[in-house]
Chain A
Amino acid sequence: MSETLKVPTMAEYMAQGKQPEVLFWVGCAGSFDDRAKKITKAFVKLLNNAQVEFAVLGTEESCTGDPAKRAGNEFLFQMQAMTNIEVLNAYEVKKIVTACPHCFNTIKNEYPELGGNYEVMHHTQFLQALLSEGRIKVEGGKYKGKRITFHDPCYLGRANNEYEAPRNLLRKLEVELVEMKRCKAKGLCCGAGGAQMFKEPEAGDKDINVERTEDAIETKPSIVATGCPFCNTMVTDGVKSKNKEEDIEVLDIAEMIVNAEDL
């Protein structure tokens, strides 16, 4: 499947003297994590299919600095931010889409003060826009009627008040959307935020991702849908720790749309 993916870079666009309509910010997880790479590819497939003129920074992309900032290393964060902003501004980027809520939040909210002003969208918001413009089709397909619950990423939901875009896409997939007891503004964190992804948790009586996975399992879903590569990892691990990986899949919404369309 990969051979058909068209992934132009900003440098290539620049060489042709053209501007893409949007920059796809892949993010570290999307670039390097094996599970998240699948999400990246699924999203690119949707972009290709909708004939969106997009580009990536490729080797010119670097960490947004989110984990450094939230670990308390403001210095490293701002170094990363300013370097990225220099690259983005040099390419005169206006609009950015990303499949990572952490990159989304950081570029959208924390870059403007440092000189980076862009329209930033989470991929579920972008897909919803494509849908309403009639550029992609989202239909039931293989997920029609399946019990699916959505885990709100903190940095999409509480941090930026976006609860509906992912749910609207799921509804279009004609799934039976069941909410966890803690959802939307009350959604429980997967345990990865605030740079926790990169360290062992403090001593306690349970891992946060297990607590969250129990919320999900309670809804008896066949799929837990997410919109964040880190949430995806955490919930996938949670499902495994409960020996439920046979019954419950953890999927990004972009992957679900690709699968439903059988692209």
Chain B
Amino acid sequence: MQYLPNIIFLVALIAGVGYFIKNSRKIIRNINLGHKVDASDHKKERWSNVFRIALGQSKMVVRPVAGLLHIFVYVGFIIINIEVLEIIIDGIFGTHRIFAGLGVFYDILIASFEILALLVLIGVIVFWIRRNIIKIKRFWNPEMKSWPKNDANIILYFEMVLMSLFLIMNATDQQLQILGAAHYTEAGLFPVSSYLLPIFDGLSESTLILIERGAWWIHILGILTFLNYLYFSKHLHILLAFPNVYYGKIEPKGQFKNLESVTKEVKMMMDPNIDPFAAPPEGEEAPAKFGASDVTDLSRVQLLNAYTCTECGRCTSVCPANQTGKKLSPRKIMMDTRDRVEEIGKNIDKNGEFQLDDKQLLDNYITREELWACTTCNACVDACPVSIDPLSIIMEMRQYLVMEQSAAPNELNISMTNIENNGAPWPYNQMDRLNWKNE
């Protein structure tokens, strides 16, 4: 019976990590629904982006208040994980503060965890206030109702509770050390939780142990729960931001991809030696669909983008269309993409393979009105702290509308006809192009 806690711990750990792995594989499968992208180029630039933008948070601090608070939470998240390692070892082997033998170094570790925990706590409280009391506009756009709104707050509550538990655990541990309780070896330096000591002053040893153990258990179970919450949440960015930045766009922002399938056709059209009536050679693939009407027409990077989006809304808050009351919101483009790919994933889970569901990303999620409001100004792309590119999805959906459906707004059709006929978007004769010289 003395090993019961160890066994319970191990079972919880395996269950928690196992469920997380299971869902991670689903995410990978869903992302692989997109078409392959060759990103073997520019390795150096890609890694430098990972260091600068993801690890270095360079785009977060463009907005200094949110940026600085985010760095607290981010550094806290990374460093406090060392403590989680100790908790896991203690949990499996029934030890207590196994790293205590590190002496002064341990003191430094624990002290820094405590300071970071406090900073994280301050960070998430201010984040909560910004969202719910100050009501910063970008957190209250129409796409931020119901689940996205609750999701954001749940994450903050999680972090508040986890950090508080960590500090309570340390405070009671410290009190137990003072009382000289068995197993509670003197170790650690507690610059933050020592301020909590008065709360626990006068409590009996057994009560203190109960609180300390309780906090320890809820803390680690909370972490395992949080780990599994990620899959259902916008909070996946804490893992996916890194690969997402790696695969982010390297070319100048103004450079839009040239569709290869179109290049082939245009070359054929311009080649005078080609027989227009020739049958396509045996075994040739059917011409690809132009543009995107559903998430399966998008690339794996675009789907990774959708899973990485943490719905901060910096893109939407700089979008000229959104700023002037149009329906377009780049954040919604990403959220819709994720929702649709999740829907397809669930369909596959249920049926073994995808069964047609009479739905698609276009119209069922993203309306044409949204797509046509974009000025392709790249403000959203520039604003994203984790290199998400909503514009590429908008462009590919426009390509589908124009090239597969001939469904451009009429004024655009007129301009395009002009370009086709006289080489300018306006109805002027190409032969008059140099008239300005003599006017």
Contacts and interface: CB of A to CB of B under 8 A. Distances in A.
B423 A80 contact: yes
Contacts of B420: 76, 79
Contact of A188 (B251, B379, B408): B379
A72 B398 contact: yes
Nearest to A73: B402
Q: Which of A75, A114, A154, A204 has the most CB of B within 10 A?
A: A75
Interface string A47-63: 00000000010110111
Contacts of B19: none
Interface residues of B, number: 69
A62 B408 contact: no
B436 A62 contact: no
Nearest to B400: A72
B394 to A, nearest CB: 9
A118 B420 CA distance: 24
Nearest to B409: A199
Contact of A68 (B251, B416, B439): B416
Contacts of B206: none
Given A2-B438, A194-B374, A205-B325, A76 B254 contact: no
A133 interface: no
Interface string B13-51: 000000000000000000000000000000000000000
Interface in A156-185: 158-161, 185
Nearest to A84: B423
B265 interface: yes
A208 B430 contact: no
A67 interface: yes
B434 to A, nearest CB: 4
Interface stretch (A26-34, A123-131, A242-250): A26-34
Contacts of A61: 423, 433
B326 A204 contact: yes
A7 B433 CA distance: 12
Contacts of A74: 258-259, 262, 290-291, 399, 403
Nearest to B318: A186
B433 A31 contact: yes
Interface stretch (A13-21, A105-113, A135-143): A105-113
A158 B375 contact: no
B369 interface: yes
Interface size grouping (class) on chain A: 35 or more
Interface in B237-266: 251-256, 258-259, 262-263, 265-266
A214 to B, nearest CB: 11
Contacts of B431: 59
Interface in B262-277: 262-263, 265-267, 269-270
B376 interface: yes
Nearest to A193: B375
Nearest to B423: A62
Contacts of B290: 74-75
Interface string B399-439: 11111000011011011100110011110101111111111
A69 B256 contact: yes
A230 B435 CA distance: 20
Given A26-B433, A74-B259, A208-B320, A63 B377 contact: no
Given A154-B379, A186-B318, A193-B375, 15 more contacts: A31-B428, A32-B432, A37-B439, A59-B431, A61-B423, A68-B419, A74-B399, A75-B265, A82-B267, A110-B256, A158-B377, A159-B253, A159-B254, A189-B377, A198-B414
Q: Which 8 A-B pairs have the closest CB atoms?
A: A159-B254, A72-B398, A62-B423, A194-B376, A205-B325, A204-B325, A109-B255, A189-B377
29 contacts: A28-B426, A31-B434, A32-B432, A40-B436, A59-B432, A61-B423, A72-B395, A72-B403, A72-B408, A74-B262, A75-B266, A79-B269, A80-B419, A80-B423, A82-B266, A82-B267, A114-B263, A154-B377, A154-B378, A160-B253, A160-B254, A191-B375, A193-B377, A194-B376, A194-B377, A198-B412, A203-B326, A208-B321, A211-B324
